[in-house]
Amino acid sequence: MSEIARIYDEIADSYFHFRSRPWPEVELVDSGPVLDLGCGSGRNASYLMKRGFEIICADISLGMLNMASRIFSGERVQCDAAFLPFRDGSFSTVLYIATLHHLEDDLRLRSLMEVRRVLKDGGKAIISVWALFQPRFFRKFPEMFLNFIRGGDFHDVYVPWRKGGRVFMRYYHLFTRSEFLSLLRKAGFSEIKYHKRSFRSRFFAENHVAVVRK
């Protein structure tokens, strides 16, 4: 089991209660079947199912999938986002929200290539990642720079989730806009529409979002 899967298994119940609203990007889904990759609490899948979409939930964390079953009655699949157990061209839409940034190094590119593989020709993927240059991470820059000079990646951070007196440190790779778009192109996506999504900051992108087609 990966470390990120173990952590989300541990925090699944508290995450379910604190992350209940669907992402605004669910409104960009216009055709199914849909794969909600990194479905987490099931909030996006539940919203889309109620609107008549055929949808499958997939997540590496069994704990999160069990929580998702409280609000989502459809098919749930435990899998690694870099090794998808679906046939080529299975989905018209892949919703890949706030998950890619949990993957390390080459697995990020592999995962995007897998997303492209399981899309139908002309299919659409909606992908979001956390942005590097946002105020809540500015104070971490000295720590990130120290990690860089020790041979690590400046963009890598660990973000705490607190539950019952315990602290769980979740791995994130924070993206610049150019890195995100470059990775999408390397994965084989050519038609890319980009926008930013912020919930707290008026001036900085907190999330990079791309709508891509196969």
Note the pLDDT tens digit of each residue in 72-91.
999 999 999 999 999 999 99
Say if residue 18 is exposed, middle or buried (CB neighbours under 10 Å; 0-12, 13-18, 19+). exposed
* Average pLDDT of the residues in 25-38: 95
pLDDT in tens, 44-57: 999 999 999 999 99
pLDDT at residue number 198: 64
By DSSP bridging, strand 207-213 and strand 119-130 are: antiparallel
What would the pLDDT profile of 157-203 be if each residue is shown by its tens digit? 898 888 888 998 899 999 999 999 999 999 999 889 998 886 665 66
- Report the number of distinct structural domains present in the chain: 1
Q: What is the pLDDT of residue 93?
A: 98
| Residue 158: CATH number of its domain | 3.40.50.150
For 168, the domain range is 3-213
Q: What is the pTM of this model?
A: 0.90
Indicate the pLDDT class of residue 146, thresholds 50, 70 and 90.
confident
- Which tokens go with 113? 């290539």
Report how far apart, in Å, the C-alpha atoms of 90 and of each of 74, 147, 203 are.
16, 40, 39
State phi, psi for 89 to the nearest 5 degrees.
Answer: 65, 35
